[in-house]
Amino acid sequence: MRRTPALLVIAVLAAPLAACGSGGRNDDPDTVKIAYNRTTDNKNRILDDYLTEVKRQFAHDHPGKKLRLVPVQAAQADYFAKVQQMMRSPRTAPDVVREDTFVINSDIKAGYLMPLDDRLRTWPDWSRFAATAKEATKAEDGRTYGVPDGTDTRGLWYNKDLFAKAGLPTDWHPRTWEDVLTAARTLKRALPGVVPLNVYTGKGPGEAATMQGFEMLLYGTGKDPLYDPMARKWISGSQGFKDALEFVRTVYAEKLGPDPSDALDPNVDTHVATEWLPSGRLAIDLDGNWLGKNWLPSGTKPWPQWSRVLGQAPFPTQHGAAPGAVSLSGGWTWAITAKSGKADLAWQVIETLQSKDNAVKWDVRDAQIAVRDDVAADPAYRSSMPGVGFFTGLVAQTHYRPALPVYPQVSSAIREAMEAVTTGDATAAQAAKRYDEALKGIPGVTVEVR
């Protein structure tokens, strides 16, 4: 495979930063720069609109102080690289940065973020946060580096109208993986032109493939199937890993999923949410709780009928073993960069972002699952979205990715294996063997063979 020279990669990543509004020295002691991701299609402005309101509120509550919004316009996978490039220099580093729990430990290890423990100890609101959400922002050194603004859960979305046309039950509760595949095969036979099942896969969709796709399968195969926290070892050679890859291979080999060229598109999640589901082109989607925000009157694709047309079902364990369902949770956090010279003022921004009222507003707008108990009990949250009760209920069966600095590299190796079976380049056993070899080559990884 042809490789891009390292200096060119740095140049490519650095070039867009000025366009993102991050260029220039940030010497104004009364201005806090806050960096966050804006999608490449520029359609989803929920976060932009929310932060614009927070900006006005902060200026009102802190006379003489102000926020400077720094949207980093990029596909999600590219956002991580771009914001890391920004945080390397005091000249370009924002003061507050939006961090996915997927990469926060890598950024902590690189020295890009500031520990928040001293501030959290004296912040009364911290006691409101769920323990699992707190753990997602904690590093191996035991310190906490971010404040989560919500979480998410994952399950099956399905089109009840298409199910009815195919003779399938509209109150669908698959018990096993085979039940899911059987429904997809029935849809394929009955409804030509409809994509039966979407499972995110491959390198293009980034972490969506690992988390919404592969790990939803893998965590239904047994206890600690990816990483053993007691032994502090990554799992290699497991049958569950091969079985999860075989499920993905089956979806694409039997043409139950999208065409591979569509499935491997970095923007496939946008197509799913704004085109395929609303148009009835896709029957079943393994995806997250946040999809509904796209279909609200204020969303990118208003769809008044969605709450009637779409049903939700938990994704089952492989053979129906207890607890019977699987979910994965992640989420985003607000952190203070290590090179910020205004940590005290930056912390006041985070307090504003995560006041109870603002937390309710954000979770409602972005279809987030609440991480604060007072937000979860708020009437506005509880009535905010059809299905919010279903997805909140999945927290009982949810899993969190290993919060370790090497996880992004492990995730990348998983996506390589997924892409190989999606394109037919490898069998599940061959792709799993390649993954095992890649895993052993990651610095700092200790392997447990099963």
Give every CB contact of residue 308 below 8 A, 6+ residues apart in sequence. 160
Hey, what are 263's tokens?
A: 């499935």
The pLDDT tens digits for 170-213 are: 999 999 999 999 999 999 999 999 999 999 999 999 999 999 99
Backbone φ, ψ for residue 58 (5° rounding): -65, -45
φ and ψ of 383, to 5 deg: -110, 15
Task: State the distance between the two ends of the chain, measured CA to CA, in whole angstroms.
Answer: 31
Considering the entire predicted model, what is its pTM?
0.77
Token code pair at residue 277: 């589901």
State how far the Cα of 218 lies from the Cα of 223, in Å rounded to an integer. 10
Name the maximum alpha-carbon separation found in the chain: 65
Delimiting residues of CATH 3.40.190.10 domain(s) in the chain: 6-148+331-395, 154-329+404-449
Residue among 426, 413, 405 at smallest CA distance from 214: 413
CB distance 225 to 219 below 8 Å = yes
User: What dotted CATH number matches 6-148+331-395?
Assistant: 3.40.190.10
- CATH superfamily of the 154-329+404-449 domain: Periplasmic binding protein-like II (3.40.190.10)
**Integer angstrom CA distances of residue 172 from 168, 222, 388:** 8, 24, 18
Q: Token pair 């949770």 is at which residue? A: 329
* Ordered per-residue pLDDT tens for the chain, 450 residues: 333 333 333 333 333 443 344 344 447 999 999 999 987 665 668 899 999 999 999 999 999 999 999 999 988 778 999 999 999 999 999 999 999 988 898 899 899 999 999 999 999 999 999 887 888 888 888 899 999 999 999 999 999 999 999 999 999 999 999 999 999 999 999 999 999 999 999 999 999 999 999 999 999 999 999 999 889 999 999 999 999 999 999 999 999 999 999 999 999 999 999 999 999 999 999 999 999 989 988 888 999 999 999 999 999 999 999 999 999 998 899 999 999 999 999 999 999 999 999 999 999 988 899 889 999 889 999 998 888 889 988 887 889 898 788 998 999 999 999 999 999 999 999 999 999 999 999 999 999 999
Residue 383: count of CB within 10 angstroms of its CB: 11
Distance of alpha carbon 426 from alpha carbon 434, whole angstroms: 10
Please choose, from the candidates 436, 396, 339, the residue with its C-alpha nearest in 3D space to the C-alpha of residue 107. 339
Element spanning 362, H or E = helix 356-365
Helices (H) and strands (E) in the chain, counts: 22, 15
Angle at Cα 119 formed by Cα 113 and Cα 121, nearest 5°? Answer: 125
Q: How many residues does the chain have?
A: 450
